[in-house]
Structure 1
Amino acid sequence: MPFRCPRPADRAERLARRRNRKMARSAHAYVRGNTGRFYEWLAASAGDSLPAGPAIWICGDCHVGNLGPLAARDGAVGVQIRDLDQAVIGNPAHDLIRLGLSLASACRSANLPGAVSVRMVEALLDAYARAFGRRPTPIAPPSAIEVVMRQALARSWKQLARDHLSHTRPRIPLGSRFWPLSQRERRAIGEIFDPDALPTLAARLGLAAPDESVAFSDAAYWVKGCSSLGRLRYAILLEVGAADGKRRMAMVDMKEAPPAAAPRYEDAPMPRDNAARVVRAASALAPALGERMAAVRLLERPMAMRELLPQDLKIEPDRLPPATIDAIARYLGQVVGLAHAGQMDADTRHRWQRELRSSRSKVVDAPSWLWRSIVDALASHERGYLEHCRRHIATIERR
């Protein structure tokens, strides 16, 4: 039976069902898709037991799927944090626990022995702490990450178009991933991408040179992600013309920026507009992403937009080989550590590294607060996952 795109009026119900179904697939999917649960657990259980790290921009939703290759304007590709919806100026320890929870839930989903989780936490903290040294030695990516990097480097616009667009004409094909817009949405998007405003907007996004022309081609509602399902998200297709007459397509991802669930340091100055907050955080944590983002308002909601490049990929945790989870944790720990360290001066880096190393247990080579936090959070999310599945099944049976 062919897929029928929902009317815009029916969109919210369909998206809620899809989100609940995705989160019911595994405990790991539930962890990835439920940032709110993580911070509810943090407020109720961890509290003052965590070290108070320096006030810097943190990801706020630092799970494995939110890390991956990103392309900079100069063509360089590297693994960075790729989703900053929850970013705030807060405690960097929260990112470390969230990443550890994501990796630990992947271990549990793969039915790995508990000893693997112990080694994973050791590797995660060791690499994260080393990132705050004077001259941290770069950690080579494990083979599983190298595969993702090779895929990113080999991708071209043609591959991006094959993944998302119609083969026959420069249009976004409606179906399970792209849904039709309402007339109100189409008018509002048309105002943002007005021909007179497009050159300035294209320059802010870094997708066109001053002597290139930019024209709006198409737009659709984008059904993407898990935790973001239910918020406004659009795919925008633009046509860029060079002075020599050659033309190319560019694709823009425009996503609603929600209020952050992650707790911020109360005296930290942050933009009040949530889209501006996301863009500011990206500039601090993931420069390759921040340099090609812009904040706008659509239908009175804050929206963060970026050009979607072929090299932008996410690491799929379900596809990572379990046998190398400690090496993956070590590599990703340094990625996050360097993103945090880049915002600190030398004295602050030294103090934070000393705090991290002093908290290591003398009995088990893992930090007592990090290990306890990950174990407690894992138990809380396991309960939440089973309860989510119960409600999901009950909802299906009632329909």
Structure 2
Amino acid sequence: MPMPSPTERHEILETNRTRKMARSAHAYVRGNTVKFYEWLEASPVAGRVPIGPAVWICGDCHLGNLGPIANGDGNVEIQIRDLDQAVIGNPAHDLIRLGLSLATAARGSDLPGVTTARMIEEMVEGYAAAMHDPTSGDAGVEPDVVRSIKRQALGRRWKHLARERLDAIDPQIPLGKKFWALDDNERSSLEAVFADPEVARLILSLDHKDKDRAVRMVDAAYWMKGCSSLGLLRFAAIIGLKNAKGRSDYALVDIKEAVAPIAPTTRGAKMPDDNGERVVTAARALSPHLGTRMTAAKMLGRSLFIRELSPQDLKLEVDQFSEGQAVMAARYLAFVVGKAHARQMDTASRNEWLGVLEADRRGMIDAPSWLWQSVVSLAGSHEAGYLEHCRRYALAA
């Protein structure tokens, strides 16, 4: 399939993104970070959201951005898996974003509003447990949805990754709806990227015992991802890893353009000026399993970040929550986010932030009133925005 023109690429991506966001209110929340911060700033609770310690935050902390991540030794943990929006900012923003995501997932599962209230309460308990002890704190009972996806992750190999991402096992990227042919400039630029010793070292770091193998690009294509920002570079590449005896293994690599984040940054915070370096630095702070498998690069005058995709890296997909599982998941996932924040704080900072969280828990529910009211306000704004999005999508269709 020939590479679409820039205009055609824009139209295809826009259509696909609009369609996916119309599927459910939960999908709309996941794909609309810009509106989240706009509506949060305009909400009646905005002035009451406390300012926590200035640490790296995810910036887009919804359910789909959490999941099992493998490190180079094959160990798997639930960590934050997408750091495009990561900044040094206010950890309260991650809590509110996660709370909203859990609330819309609960609504999509037809759970009563009282369950959402209990989820927010358990979120605070899980997050506080991580603040008390980020290394061995009690996350509570591992929910079935987490236990199931971790079990699935541990059983996956290259063939599973290839079937899922490429619809094939052979080391070739099938061109079609998801993958588009490269032009000569893009192909030669990618080959130059993988000739960089630092990039080669990264690729050899994940589950490859022989570090002296040669690295070469076998195939590559533009990767059309459904809710990606329009007009950004996104590529998939298959890398061949040859050892001295001529045997080959393969790695699937994701190359993604990094752009300026939408999430608010703490005034005066010192972050890398290069957006690719920002994403990699944030990943190493928030998600060590992922951060050790990433590097930044330049290509076609743009900033990129690169990571090898592991078969064990999965997205936490929640189609339906039971009431009990929803509450346990809220506690567990907030614990994961809390660990990512807490490992960047000293004991005094953690205790001070805990005090802020505990100070406002005597309201309508046993959770900070600013958190509960922010989630309620944003749920209303997102529901109205989602229905308007669906109306415009139906008219366009």
Q: TM-score range by the shorter chain?
A: over 0.9
Per-residue deviation, 1:363: 4.2
1:222 corresponds to: 223
1:233 corresponds to: 234
Structure-2 separation of matches of 1:213 and 1:227: 32
Note closer, same or farther for the CA distance 1:362–1:49 as it changes in structure 2 (3 Å cut). Answer: closer
Per-residue deviation, 1:202: 1.5
2:13 corresponds to: 15
The CA deviation string for residues 114-158 of structure 1, in whole angstroms up to 9 with x for no partner, is 111111111111111121114522433211111100110000112
Structure-2 separation of matches of 1:111 and 1:258: 37
Residue of 199, 203, 210 corresponding to 1:201 = 199
1:81 corresponds to: 80
Are 1:8 and 1:180, in contact at CA under 8 Å, matched by a contact in 2? no
Per-residue deviation, 1:110: 2.0
Letter in 1 for 2:55: I
Note closer, same or farther for the CA distance 1:62–1:5 as it changes in structure 2 (3 Å cut). Answer: farther
What secondary structure does 2:153 align onto?
helix
Per-residue deviation, 1:175: 1.8
Are 1:8 and 1:181, in contact at CA under 8 Å, matched by a contact in 2? no
Alignment of structure 1 residues 20-59 onto 2, 5 Å: 20-45=18-43, 46-59=45-58
What secondary structure does 2:267 align onto?
coil
The CA deviation string for residues 232-283 of structure 1, in whole angstroms up to 9 with x for no partner, is 2110110001234331000100111121000000111001111110000000
The CA deviation string for residues 31-90 of structure 1, in whole angstroms up to 9 with x for no partner, is 000000001112222432111100000000000000000000111100000000000000
1:250 corresponds to: 251
Are 1:164 and 1:172, in contact at CA under 8 Å, matched by a contact in 2? no
Letter in 2 for 1:75: G
What secondary structure does 1:140 align onto?
coil
The CA deviation string for residues 4-57 of structure 1, in whole angstroms up to 9 with x for no partner, is 776243111100010011111111110000000001112222432111100000
What secondary structure does 1:318 align onto?
coil
Alignment of structure 1 residues 1-399 onto 2, 5 Å: 7-9=4-6, 10-45=8-43, 46-134=45-133, 136-165=137-166, 167=168, 169-194=170-195, 197=196, 199-205=197-203, 206-207=205-206, 209-228=210-229, 230-321=231-322, 323-396=324-397
Name the TM-score, length of structure 1 as normaliser. Answer: 0.93
Structure-2 separation of matches of 1:234 and 1:128: 36
Structure-1 separation of matches of 2:91 and 2:167: 42
Letter in 1 for 2:295: A
| Range with bigger deviation, 100-109 or 236-245 | 236-245
Are 1:221 and 1:234, in contact at CA under 8 Å, matched by a contact in 2? yes
Are 2:51 and 2:92, in contact at CA under 8 Å, matched by a contact in 1? yes
Structure-2 separation of matches of 1:19 and 1:40: 20
Any stretches of 5+ residues in structure 1 without a counterpart?
A: none
Letter in 2 for 1:342: R
Per-residue deviation, 1:184: 2.8
Are 2:121 and 2:366, in contact at CA under 8 Å, matched by a contact in 1? yes
Note closer, same or farther for the CA distance 1:274–1:168 as it changes in structure 2 (3 Å cut). Answer: closer
The CA deviation string for residues 286-315 of structure 1, in whole angstroms up to 9 with x for no partner, is 000000101112221111110000000010
| Range with bigger deviation, 267-276 or 137-146 | 137-146
Letter in 1 for 2:171: P
Structure-1 separation of matches of 2:111 and 2:281: 39
Are 1:294 and 1:305, in contact at CA under 8 Å, matched by a contact in 2? yes
Structure-1 separation of matches of 2:379 and 2:316: 21
Structure-2 separation of matches of 1:52 and 1:36: 20
Structure-2 separation of matches of 1:101 and 1:55: 22
Per-residue deviation, 1:162: 2.2
Structure-2 separation of matches of 1:37 and 1:5: 35
Are 1:223 and 1:229, in contact at CA under 8 Å, matched by a contact in 2? no
Q: How many residues align?
A: 390
What secondary structure does 1:218 align onto?
strand
Note closer, same or farther for the CA distance 1:245–1:185 as it changes in structure 2 (3 Å cut). Answer: closer
Structure-2 separation of matches of 1:286 and 1:169: 31
Letter in 2 for 1:308: L
What secondary structure does 1:350 align onto?
helix
Letter in 2 for 1:74: D
Any stretches of 5+ residues in structure 2 without a counterpart?
A: none
| Range with bigger deviation, 122-131 or 37-46 | 37-46
